[in-house]
Structure 1
Amino acid sequence: MSETGAEKATGKQAMPDWEKRFRAPRVSLPDWAEDAPRRSLFVSNATGTYELYAWDRETGAQRQVTDRPNGTTDGVLSPDGEWIWWFDDKDGDEFGVWRRQPFAGGPDEPAVPGLDASYPAGLALGRDGGTVVVGRSTDEDGSTIHVVRPDAPDAGPAEVYRHRESAGVGDLSHDGSLIAVEHTEHGDAMHSALRVIRLDGSTVAELDDTGGGTVELGLEVLGFAPVEGDTRLLVGHQRRGRWEPMIWDIASGEESDLVLGLPGDVSAEWYPDGSALLIAHGFEARGELFRYDLASRELTRIDTPPGSVSGATARPDGAVEYMWSSAAEPPVVRSTSGDVVLDPPGMKAPGSVPVEDVWVEGPGGRVHALVQRPAGATGPLPTVFEVHGGPTWHDSDSFAAGPAAWVDHGYAVVRVNYRGSTGYGREWTDALKHRVGLIELEDIAAVREWAVTSGLADPDRLVLAGGSWGGYLTLLGLGTQPDVWALGLAAVPVADYVTAYHDEMEALKAMDRTLLGGTPEEVPERFAASSPLTYVDQVKAPVYISAGVNDPRCPIRQIDNYVDRLAARGAVHEVYRYDAGHGSLVVDERIKQVSLELDFAARHLPPAAG
């Protein structure tokens, strides 16, 4: 009997493909212990909630490490593989403490007694089994870094760094004597400088491309060399207008530039023996991998399929494991050995349609958009402009269950890598200043014009949608372009920029000061111009908003302020509040949210003309 026949016989309805994509078990790229590479840690939604899992590669045994109502994704293996560290917050509010559990199982215990709850700002564990470096962020203290030393474990964590601006732990050297710190003491939260300190907090070396905050160049820690006595630090820089790696020798001060000749953003990590670098290259929404031999200076491409590589790691045997997907094909953890590294049992996610690349001339340069349309559809179609968050992020040719759900329901989906997005050079990312929100909407408008004039999109059935920063741009777009959009769907958005600033976590306050040039009290006109609340009375389209009541990034009070204004003027809107933070790690909850959005669009989007 066919599946359809069986459904009729039992009276059951088949699970739709869009829901299967969310429910199908997934796994992350496994992390592995540096000195016990047979022991790994990964994240999976196998139980219906994203949690941490331990994996003994030698025996094949896997076990669930965490089990919390709102899920857990932040975890680290100690270098010796004996302990699993995980971050324990409350209901997704991102404010909590580190706990640890034996790899083989057992009770959780406080990992760093003596440290109060905070937002996490990096963690590094020494190979000696005793050195611990913890980064913290709180509204009261700003950024602090604390060290537990193996020669004085009973003394508890000692503070070795403090500053009001954002900072965090980058890495700990192989011998556990040096800490690399990323900081923004110059006041530009988008561009970090680097400082290397000893365990007592004394400074060893500084590297700063920001010019004290006057030059928009940033640095990032990519990792100390994994070799005993080696003082080389792998660093990401932007000196040629995009992210590239270089090697900074802390002892000598020598900087070794790596000119790789790749056109896009480049990141890197060490091979375990320190002889080569694993290069990740992202260009025009795709990703690829290379091996760079440090002795011969030879760059060799690692064969990966067309699409996106969202993570990669080099194993001690030289094999490279990587997470790959495309818009049409679900993610899989592969190895250059030819094997699928970790294949979760159970239902497999159905594929979707591939993306088409579109380049449109915008007011700030060429804008790249990724387009998906139902197979065989010609148009004009109801079209969802799905706007990515960040804003320092970008959409790519990778598998995404949300856009695929809209395609299944007959919509075209357009995703725009507006100014502010990563992956298109430093100037494109840094263009997002002072006219925040309005700049991104100009680029979206240029792509929207192409979508309509090309015949893809029905101009009367355009949906603006997104989460986080994408939700913010959705509400701002509905108010500043009220005659264009037929519907708005905003998840965990910034809705009232001033209140959001005062209620959000300290690190985001710093980012907002950088983007807008000051606080709401210092530049009130910029906050007003960029706040959706300013334009709420101009909104014409029906609005759907979903929000986590424990969200520290886009707090609930500022969303309530916006919703109250919609309600006061009788605007068509619906609000869904759920008990979590900035999104949900629970599969049922995520499916519910997508279902509510699809239903809202079905009820409120105008019918096709004719």
Structure 2
Amino acid sequence: MTESNGTPRGAGGGSMPDWEKRFRAPRVSLPDWAEDAPDRSLFVSNATGTYELYAWDRATGEQRRATDRPNGTTDGVLSPDGEWIWWFSDKDGDEFGVWLRQPFGGGEDVPAVAGLEPSYPAGLALGRDGSTAVVGRSTDEDGTTIHVVRDGGAPQEIYRHRESAGVGDLSHDGTLIAVEHTEHGDAMHAALRVVRPDGTAVAELDDTEGGTRELGLEVLGFAPVDGDTRLLVGHQRRGRWEPMVWDVASGAETDLALDLPGDVSAEWYPDGSALLVAHSFEARSDLWRYEFGSGVLTRVETPPGSVSGATPRPDGSVEYLWSSAAEPSVVRSTSGGVVLDPPGTKAPVSVPVEDVWVEGPGGRIHALVQKPAGATGPLPTVFEVHGGPTWHDSDSFAAGPAAWVDHGYAVVRVNYRGSTGYGREWTDALKHRVGLIELEDVSAVREWAVSSGLADPDRLVLAGGSWGGYLTLLGVGTQPDVWAVGLAAVPVADYVTAYHDEMEALKALDRTLFGGTPEEVPDRFTASSPLTYVDDVKAPVYISAGVNDPRCPIRQIDNYVDRLAARGATHEVYRYDAGHGSLVVEERIKQVRLELDFAARHLS
């Protein structure tokens, strides 16, 4: 065993390679803007080497770093009047903390809500009157609670339940609150409830029929007009995510039935006359405008690739964050030009992705492939598995895969069953055989990669973070003769211990995935736990872990590592002082260096 200190052999000296430049290049998120003060915006940037919140006054051009913490800050929101920045303060990435606020122009951070103990966040909605806040909280002891705070007074609890829930939205006039809840016990498919600020129920929408069918709903936002009781809702009634309008006063539901093949989300234009529609299909995305009066759907022109965020502005323009696998991200506007261009060097480009479709045990599997320009196989190949599991790899810029390509590897990313963007049945296919189903799809794509001549069967690397790290450890244990190296970042390693130590919202998700707790369905947890197969692992394994991680806690990783060490298996462990990943650029570079070095040593 090696306890790594973060300094691989050969590190340091020489000019900076392109892969490091991609991580260090300044980047920005899509700016959020205040509803009643649209010149005031908030965005996230790594300009100082750590991801922090920045205030931007568009009228003057002034930009100001609003937060400055050793492990970074990304969770923040502007009050609708633009006077306050609310941001969530946790301890070293443990996601457990309180909301603070500071004046937009700068000043002291003060507790945003008096009388609420630290918790995991479960949504936040701020009123346009500047004095109302709806705060969602989650703790292991209480489950989810939602509180209304007015004029800085004592928080009034309006909701409590053991199952996971969260604040959806507050209506434009502050008279209605939308709540997403899973009181029926299915954490993957929420129902909706609308209440008044005193907690009185107004309306309920539940497509799960009390948990008897697997259809979910999500809050997309109230209409931005005083007195308007229309709520934009995402639903899955036709096997994919689509928007509809629900009038919570009358109960009327307006099905928009947009003629688009993939998952569809939407948000209101500021005057409420139209919707900005975001469409995701087969690892790429595009934007559309839907007019309520005519029902016309018009494309909003964006380059081929992925739009990872978009917002309509009061002047009718749309700002969006775009990238492709080859081109770094940039915030653009349909009115022309770049909206927010961070100073400093630009990230070097990478290579485009190639689409591959492979027949698998549950249907056609979509994979994205990158390889060095002009290279021919068979190549050492990294199967980089995404987290989530309800997420998907897309044709978007990612510094991690680009680093492997720079070092001569092919990179294959598999949108296995459980991934979003391919319909509800594909996303919901994980039940009960958790982890094993995803690995069946990875195996099918791996067989294609080898038989096609792309991948060298003796130099296959399985890698991933979070759920991808879990699948990595499960894969090297259940498929020990296939993988030459395993690289697992912040993984689930011992599923039973992970369940007991993780945050409450993830316990609810695990109960949904497995059909119960480890005590209720022990065989399922055993079959899906990497610890069950640890003695079968043959490949050298590298693990990185945040010691404050509430999602994949450190104790269960230590249990797995102890078992590897007990039989003298080749492995290295790197522990760092953060939570579920790091917001510090140099820390992230250090971790990628360690992975690159570990793979090079064990594939040579």
**Residue deviations 1:22-79, cap 9 Å, x none?**
0000000000000000000000000000000000000000000000000000000000
Q: Which residue of 2 is the match for residue 163 of structure 1?
A: 161
2:449 paired with 1:451: yes
Q: Which residue of 2 is the match for residue 571 of structure 1?
A: 569
Among 492, 495, 519, the alignment partner of 1:494 is 492
Q: Which residue of 1 is the match for residue 73 of structure 2?
A: 72
Q: Which residue of 1 is the match for residue 36 of structure 2?
A: 35
In 1, Cα distance between the equivalents of 2:150 and 2:244?
30
**Residue deviations 1:77-99, cap 9 Å, x none?**
00000000000000000000000
Residue aligned with 1:49, SS: coil
**Residue deviations 1:560-593, cap 9 Å, x none?**
0000000000000000000000000000000000
Counterpart amino acid of residue 179 in structure 1: I
2:532 paired with 1:531: no
Residue aligned with 2:211, SS: coil
Alignment of 1:171-210 (within 5 A): 171-210=169-208
Q: Which residue of 1 is the match for residue 320 of structure 2?
A: 322
Q: Which residue of 1 is the match for residue 3 of structure 2?
A: none
Per the TM alignment, residue 149 of structure 1 is displaced from its structure 2 partner at its CA by: 2.4
Q: Which residue of 1 is the match for residue 602 of structure 2?
A: 604
Query: RCO greater where, 1 or 2, for CA within 8 Å and sep 6 or more?
Result: 2
Q: Which residue of 2 is the match for residue 8 of structure 1?
A: none
Q: Which residue of 2 is the match for residue 6 of structure 1?
A: none
Q: Which residue of 2 is the match for residue 114 of structure 1?
A: 115
2:424 paired with 1:423: no
In 1, Cα distance between the equivalents of 2:581 and 2:212?
35
Q: Which residue of 2 is the match for residue 371 of structure 1?
A: 369
In 2, Cα distance between the equivalents of 1:228 and 1:210?
31
- Write out the 4+ residue segments of structure 1 that deviate beyond 2 Å after TM superposition: none
Residue aligned with 2:157, SS: strand
In 2, Cα distance between the equivalents of 1:293 and 1:211?
32
2:140 paired with 1:142: no
Q: Which residue of 2 is the match for residue 51 of structure 1?
A: 52
In 2, Cα distance between the equivalents of 1:149 and 1:29?
30
TM-score, with structure 2 as normaliser: 0.98
TM-score, with structure 1 as normaliser: 0.97
Unaligned ranges ≥5, structure 1: 1-10
In 1, Cα distance between the equivalents of 2:282 and 2:232?
25
Q: Which residue of 1 is the match for residue 578 of structure 2?
A: 580
In 2, Cα distance between the equivalents of 1:12 and 1:192?
52
Among 423, 426, 438, the alignment partner of 1:440 is 438
**Residue deviations 1:411-452, cap 9 Å, x none?**
000000000000000000000100000000000000000000
Q: Which residue of 2 is the match for residue 5 of structure 1?
A: none
Alignment of 1:185-264 (within 5 A): 185-264=183-262
Counterpart amino acid of residue 167 in structure 2: V
In 1, Cα distance between the equivalents of 2:92 and 2:370?
35
Counterpart amino acid of residue 145 in structure 1: I
Among 540, 543, 547, the alignment partner of 2:541 is 543
Residue aligned with 2:397, SS: coil
Per the TM alignment, residue 339 of structure 1 is displaced from its structure 2 partner at its CA by: 1.5
Counterpart amino acid of residue 241 in structure 2: W
2:107 paired with 1:131: no
In 2, Cα distance between the equivalents of 1:159 and 1:302?
42
Q: Which residue of 2 is the match for residue 90 of structure 1?
A: 91
2:409 paired with 1:408: no
Identical columns (%): 87
Per the TM alignment, residue 12 of structure 1 is displaced from its structure 2 partner at its CA by: 6.2
Counterpart amino acid of residue 67 in structure 1: D
Counterpart amino acid of residue 13 in structure 1: G
In 1, Cα distance between the equivalents of 2:416 and 2:432?
15
Q: Which residue of 1 is the match for residue 559 of structure 2?
A: 561
In 2, Cα distance between the equivalents of 1:149 and 1:195?
21
Residue aligned with 1:407, SS: helix
Over the aligned positions, Cα root-mean-square deviation in angstroms equals 0.7
In 2, Cα distance between the equivalents of 1:51 and 1:559?
29
Q: Which residue of 2 is the match for residue 356 of structure 1?
A: 354
In 1, Cα distance between the equivalents of 2:495 and 2:303?
42
2:22 paired with 1:21: yes
Per the TM alignment, residue 277 of structure 1 is displaced from its structure 2 partner at its CA by: 0.1
Residue aligned with 1:588, SS: helix
Corresponding residue pairs, total: 593
Residue aligned with 2:50, SS: coil
Per the TM alignment, residue 15 of structure 1 is displaced from its structure 2 partner at its CA by: 0.4
Counterpart amino acid of residue 87 in structure 1: F
In 2, Cα distance between the equivalents of 1:209 and 1:223?
18
Q: Which residue of 1 is the match for residue 4 of structure 2?
A: none
Residue aligned with 1:117, SS: coil
Residue aligned with 1:518, SS: coil
Among 340, 343, 347, the alignment partner of 1:342 is 340
In 2, Cα distance between the equivalents of 1:158 and 1:228?
24
Per the TM alignment, residue 547 of structure 1 is displaced from its structure 2 partner at its CA by: 0.1
Alignment of 1:586-597 (within 5 A): 586-597=584-595
Residue aligned with 2:392, SS: coil
